[in-house]
């Protein structure tokens, strides 16, 4: 579709646990999609789903790493979340209207101050509130951050969800329809596996490799012996970074592969053969990186 009026873009969904992020995404998409979100080892991965309408396609990105870090891996997640917030077109913060503003919200807002991406606030669960109760809550949030818009909603009761989507659309640029309209999630395993590998690379190379790496899953197939074969490419921007990721005698890449394989096996429950490659791809824009990681193949 090359219609100039068609808009598309990424929306990062942020908010404390239990405010209703998954419920909102599911209501928007119209069915259960976040299949793996209850497994603890996958909660740190970005899971995307796609909302396609006549005039727009919105790609929602889960951003669990936005929470206060409790451990080292948590810090890494926060860094990843930060780079996500910069790369997306809109941040959608979800808050629970029935709970009072707390340190969880404070912490998220602090991080939102560090990026210039427009932020829309959805105050959720208004089905539990009286009309009069909603305004003071809106004011409370208004005082703390310069939201582009504040939309009171009920994800569960489908109240004001259209208004929310319209508000999101006003902040999207004209763009292509990345995915066919019947696609709701772009092969979640693929995303999760890519994210697991990416995380290992970032973790094991520490500060030496910038966050601008992408992992592309080129192939996933079940072998005759029921093992899963996964071929993935780690894209870096410079030749020197390639050397770092591979390591002396391939040692680091082996370690990346070993740790990622353990995670993937834990997730999928089958034996996995992970075939990892490292390639240099210069001057990638952030968006291309992100699309790559999410499994979208451009020209």
Q: Which residues bind Mg ion (CB under 5 A)?
A: 21-22
Count the site residues for ligand GDP by CB under 6 A. 16
Please identify, using beta-carbon distances, which residue of 18 and 270 lies nearer to ligand GDP: 18
The only residue of 127, 166, 262, 288 in contact with ligand GDP, by rule CB under 6 A: 127
Q: Which CB, 33 or 230, lies closer to ligand GDP?
A: 33
Q: Which of the listed partners (Mg ion, ligand GDP, none) does 280 bind, with a CB threshold of 5 to 8 Å by partner kind? A: none
Does residue number 160 form part of the binding site for ligand GDP (CB under 6 A)? no
Residue 185 binds which entry of ligand GDP, Mg ion, none, with Cβ cut-offs from 5 to 8 Å by kind? Answer: none
Residue 124 engages ligand GDP in binding (rule: CB under 6 A): yes
Query: Would you count residue 128 as binding ligand GDP (CB under 6 A)?
Result: yes
At its nearest, how many Å lie between ligand GDP and the CB of residue 172?
Answer: 23
Distance separating alpha carbons of residues 173 and 83, to the nearest angstrom = 20
What's the angle, vertex CA 61, arms to CA 25 and CA 187, rounded to 5? 85
Residue (149 or 156) nearer to ligand GDP, CB: 156
In the bound complex, what is the minimum distance in angstroms from residue 248's beta carbon to ligand GDP? 43
Residue in the shown chain whose Cβ atom is closest to ligand GDP: 20
Near ligand GDP by CB under 6 A: residue from 78, 99, 149, 156: 156
* Residue 36 touches ligand GDP, criterion: CB under 6 A: no
User: How far apart are the two ends of the chain, measured CA to CA in Å?
Assistant: 15
3-state secondary structure the chain: CCCCCCEEEEEEEECCCCCCHHHHHHHHHCCCCCCCCCCHHHCCCCCEEEEECCCEEEEEEECHHHCCCCCHHHHHHHHHHHHHHHHCCEEEEEEECCCCCCHHHHHHHHHHHCCCCCEEEEEECHHHCCHHHHHHHHHHHHHHCCCCEEEECECCCCECHHHHHHHHHCCCEECCCCCCCCCCCCCHHHHHHHHHHHHHHHHHCHHHCCCCCEEEEEEEEECCCCCEEEEEEEEECCHHHHHHHHCHHHHHHHHHHHHHHHHHHHHHCCCEEEEEEEEECCCCCHHHHHHHHCCCCCC
**Smallest gap, in angstroms, from Cβ of residue 154 to ligand GDP?**
4
Part in contact with ligand GDP (CB under 6 A); list of ranges 20-28, 110-118, 227-235, 246-254: 20-28
Please report how close the Cβ of residue 164 comes to ligand GDP at its closest, in angstroms: 12
Q: Counting contacts by CB under 6 A, is residue 122 touching ligand GDP? A: no
Closer residue to ligand GDP, CB minimum distance, 152 or 257: 152
Residues that bind ligand GDP (CB under 6 A): 15, 17-23, 124-125, 127-128, 154-157
């Amino acid at each position: 579709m090359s219609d100039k009026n068609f808009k598309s873009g990424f929306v990062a969904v942020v908010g404390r646990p239990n405010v209703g992020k998954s419920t909102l995404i599911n209501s928007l998409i119209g069915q259960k999609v976040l299949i793996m979100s209850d497994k603890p080892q996958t909660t740190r991965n970005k899971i995307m789903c796609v909302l396609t309408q006549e005039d727009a396609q919105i790609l929602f990105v889960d951003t669990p790493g936005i929470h206060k870090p409790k451990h080292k891996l948590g810090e890494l997640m926060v860094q990843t979340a930060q780079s996500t917030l910069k790369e997306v077109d809109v941040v959608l913060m979800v808050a629970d209207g029935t709970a009072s503003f707390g340190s969880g919200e404070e912490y998220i807002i602090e991080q939102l101050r560090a990026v210039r991406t427009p932020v829309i606030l959805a105050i959720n669960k208004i089905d539990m509130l009286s009309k009069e109760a909603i305004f003071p809550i809106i004011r409370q949030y208004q005082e703390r951050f310069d939201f582009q818009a504040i939309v009171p909603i009920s994800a569960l009761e489908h109240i004001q969800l259209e208004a929310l989507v319209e508000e999101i659309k006003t902040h999207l640029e004209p763009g292509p329809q990345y995915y066919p309209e019947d696609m709701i999630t772009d092969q979640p395993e693929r995303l999760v596996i890519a994210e697991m590998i990416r995380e290992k690379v970032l973790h094991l190379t520490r500060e030496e490799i910038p966050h601008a790496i992408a992992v592309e899953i080129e192939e996933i197939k079940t072998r005759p012996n029921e093992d899963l074969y996964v071929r993935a490419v780690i894209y870096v921007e410079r030749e020197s970074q390639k050397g770092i990721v591979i390591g002396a005698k391939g040692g680091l890449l082996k370690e990346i592969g070993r740790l990622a394989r353990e995670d993937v096996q834990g997730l999928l429950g089958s034996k996995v053969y992970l075939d990892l490659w490292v390639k240099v791809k210069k001057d990638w824009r952030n968006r291309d990186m992100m699309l790559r990681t999410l499994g979208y193949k451009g020209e």
